[in-house]
């Protein structure tokens, strides 16, 4: 897991170069014929990448984006009207039957279908009209790392090209270097806080909430910890009732528009006695933490959440091992999960 996570910067550099032509072609088409809606089809870590895509498409392009429930097609045998839609299927293996069948149904319903997939000759890739390979290479650890980060990079590249957004287009070539710096972050201060934890909250907002879902999943997979991800806003609508003295919370606090509200929430949680681990590049956020998890520097409000995950993966590996687990072989799991 650690080795593959550390390969992610090179994967990102390769993806940005190799996919550039196909992405620009697809972006030109989407500008001429904007979709009526965007649907994503994915499971597990790939679905968390899709949630990041939802924020990208809705914030940057104003395109309504929703996550498909594959059982609508495979179990209930229904065929939603997706005429004029853009449907993005995201998968490491491209082998899960329910994803393939859902993408085929979307294509037959008149959607433009795109697969972001690591295995280029997979059934999912063959079912799509457009394939954007992840270029991650073989991923042997059950816990996805470099393939997940590659999906975030691919989604950002497509949105930047479609929007013709100068800020993202200028930032993306520098992203691999920033990822390498983030991967070297020292988060060892979090080991003592989370080492004995049976459960925890992971919170963020906006792009950071999207990646919080992935962080919580990895804590489940690799450390057998019952971790739940919540939007920092949603936390106040019920789940905060659990928080009391000593309750562990991992807060993802990149410098983005929700940052001031998140600082207020962290101060309130600290008053309730929560034990806070805070991942941020910002000194004032780290000052609120019982366990500061520093990021090297502020980079880009969209991409800083991606860098947070890049920093988290080596920490997750270390945490799992400190708790007596093998992060490469989580119990009850296998690399390719077949669902229908």
Q: For the segment 22-66, what is each residue's pLDDT rounded down to a tens digit?
A: 999 999 999 999 999 999 999 999 999 999 999 999 999 999 999
227 within some domain = yes
**Domains of the chain: total:** 2
Q: What contacts 56, CB < 8 A, 6 or more positions away? A: 155, 156, 159, 207, 302
Residue 106 confidence (pLDDT) above 60: yes
The values of phi and psi at residue 13, to 5°, are: -60, -40
- Report pLDDT digits (tens) over 128-147: 999 999 999 988 887 889 99
Residue 101 confidence (pLDDT) above 50: yes
CATH of the domain at 114: 3.40.50.10490
Residue 340 confidence (pLDDT) above 80: no
Cα gap 265→324, rounded to integer Å: 33
- pLDDT for the residue numbered 288: 96
For residue 175, what are the domain limits? 2-180
What would the mean pLDDT of 89-109 be, rounded to a whole number? 95
> What percentage of the chain carries pLDDT values higher than 70?
95
> What percentage of the chain carries pLDDT values higher than 90?
84
Q: How far is CA 188 from the centre of its chain?
A: 22
Same domain, 26 and 157: yes
Same domain, 246 and 312: yes
- pLDDT for the residue numbered 250: 97
- pLDDT for the residue numbered 331: 65
C-alpha to C-alpha distances, 313 to 21, 140, 141, 143, nearest whole angstrom: 30, 15, 12, 10
Same domain, 191 and 289: yes
Confidence category of residue 15, pLDDT binned at 50, 70, 90: very high
> Taking Cα atoms as reference points, which of 306, 30, 42, 25 lies closest to residue 150?
306
Residue 118 confidence (pLDDT) above 90: yes
- pLDDT for the residue numbered 241: 53
What would the mean pLDDT of 237-252 be, rounded to a whole number? 81
231 within some domain = yes
Same domain, 58 and 134: yes
Final residue of a structural domain among 180, 214, 236: 180
């Amino acid at each position: 897991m650690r080795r593959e996570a550390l390969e992610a910067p090179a994967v990102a550099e390769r993806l940005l170069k190799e996919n550039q032509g196909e992405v620009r072609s697809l972006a030109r088409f989407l500008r001429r014929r904007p979709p009526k809606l965007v649907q994503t089809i994915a499971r597990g870590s790939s679905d968390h990448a899709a949630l990041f895509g939802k924020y990208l498409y809705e914030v940057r392009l104003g395109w309504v984006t929703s996550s498909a429930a594959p059982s609508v097609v495979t179990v209930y045998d229904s065929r939603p009207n997706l005429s004029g839609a853009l449907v993005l299927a995201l998968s490491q293996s491209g082998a899960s039957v329910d994803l393939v069948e859902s993408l085929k149904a979307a294509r037959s319903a008149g959607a433009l279908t795109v697969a972001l997939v690591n295995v280029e000759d997979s059934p999912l890739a063959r079912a799509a009209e457009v394939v954007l390979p992840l270029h991650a290479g073989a991923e042997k650890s059950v816990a996805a790392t470099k393939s997940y980060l590659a999906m975030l990079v691919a989604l950002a590249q497509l949105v930047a090209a479609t929007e013709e957004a100068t800020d993202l287009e200028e930032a993306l070539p520098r992203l691999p270097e920033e990822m390498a710096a983030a991967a070297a972050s020292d988060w060892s201060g979090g080991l003592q806080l989370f080492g004995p934890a049976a459960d925890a909250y992971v919170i963020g907002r906006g792009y950071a909430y999207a990646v919080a879902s992935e962080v919580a999943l990895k804590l489940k997979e690799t450390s057998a910890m019952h971790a739940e991800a919540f939007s920092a806003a949603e936390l106040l609508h019920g789940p905060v009732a659990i928080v009391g003295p000593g309750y562990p919370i991992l807060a993802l606090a990149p410098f983005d528009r929700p940052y001031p509200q998140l600082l207020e929430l962290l101060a309130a949680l600290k008053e309730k006695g929560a034990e806070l681990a805070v991942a941020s590049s910002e000194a004032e956020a780290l000052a609120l933490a019982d366990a500061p998890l520093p990021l090297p520097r502020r980079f880009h409000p969209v991409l800083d959440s991606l860098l947070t995950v890049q920093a988290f993966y080596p920490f997750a590996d270390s945490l799992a091992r400190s708790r007596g687990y093998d992060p490469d072989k989580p119990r009850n799991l296998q690399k390719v999960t077949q669902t229908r």
